Amino acid sequence: MNIFLIGYYGYGNIGDDLFVAQLTNYFASKKDVKKIFICCQTNYYQGFSDKVLFFKNAQLSKLKRTLLLLKSDCIAWGGGTLNLQDRPRNLSRMQALSKLMGKRFCFLGVGLESVKSEKKKKIADIFEKADLLYLRDNHSYEMALQQLQLSKSPDLGGDLAFLDLTMYEKFVKPAKQASDIANISFSGKFWWGEGRAEF
């Protein structure tokens, strides 16, 4: 089985880079997975399994991208936040082509931000055609159910950046040490707003 991962990869975003690391480690550990193809803006990734092959977006012609689709059994948008203000043409084309070739098309661990009311039907259509829609948080799940009114319920899980916690063990203090933290700060995207920060 070959998997083609697409997403916001190679842009220097730590969250998306964690998705790449977690997903590829997970899939590479499966015996039935032979190759994992990943499209990225810049290939600065290191230390990945021999099963993982990176392709720069700028170097992928339409023909090469189509050949990767043909070689793949499953195409997946992995991790990241989808801020779907309009019908994403490239994503829609990729999904349509995948379906035409008889491939599975999935959304893995995505978060949803906002959807313009006039675009709801088009965006809902993309999710309806997915073989799997796995959302990472309650906010995204409720948005999919209430605003997009999907005919089939999506799956709800956690953030893929935390798929395997052993990756973070070296950063965790031993439990024996007393914590002297008095204040804590949360940082994020400025456009998340108060409600998201509270969440």
List, in sequence order, every residue forming a beta bridge with 5; answer none if it has no partner.
Answer: 38, 76
Nearest 5°: phi and psi at 84? -90, 85
Cα atoms found within 13 Å of the Cα of residue 67, Cβ hemisphere only = 6
Cα atoms found within 13 Å of the Cα of residue 18, Cβ hemisphere only = 15
Q: In terms of Cα–Cα distance, which of 92, 72, 73 is closest to 82?
A: 92
Most confident by average pLDDT, 51-60, 73-82, 112-121 = 51-60
Q: How far is CA 88 from CA 17, 127, 142, 190, in A?
A: 22, 12, 21, 23
Instruction: Using pLDDT thresholds of 50, 70 and 90, give the confidence band for residue 84.
Output: low
State whether the Cα torsion 7-10-14-18 is positive or negative: positive
Q: What is the pLDDT of residues 154-190, one digit of tens each?
A: 999 888 989 999 988 888 877 666 667 788 877 665 5
**In this predicted structure, which of 41-45, 73-77, 148-152, 174-178 has the lowest mean pLDDT?**
174-178
Nearest 5°: phi and psi at 36? -125, 110
Most confident by average pLDDT, 2-6, 58-62, 122-126, 195-199 = 2-6
Looking at this protein, which amino acid is placed at residue 98?
A: S
Q: What is the pLDDT of residues 1-56, one digit of tens each?
A: 999 999 889 999 888 999 999 999 999 999 999 999 999 999 999 999 999 999 99
Residue 34: Cβ within 10 Å count: 12
Instruction: State mean pLDDT over 132-161.
Output: 89
Q: How far is CA 48 from CA 28, 35, 94, 162, 193, in A?
A: 9, 12, 25, 18, 36
Q: Output the pTM of the full model.
A: 0.81
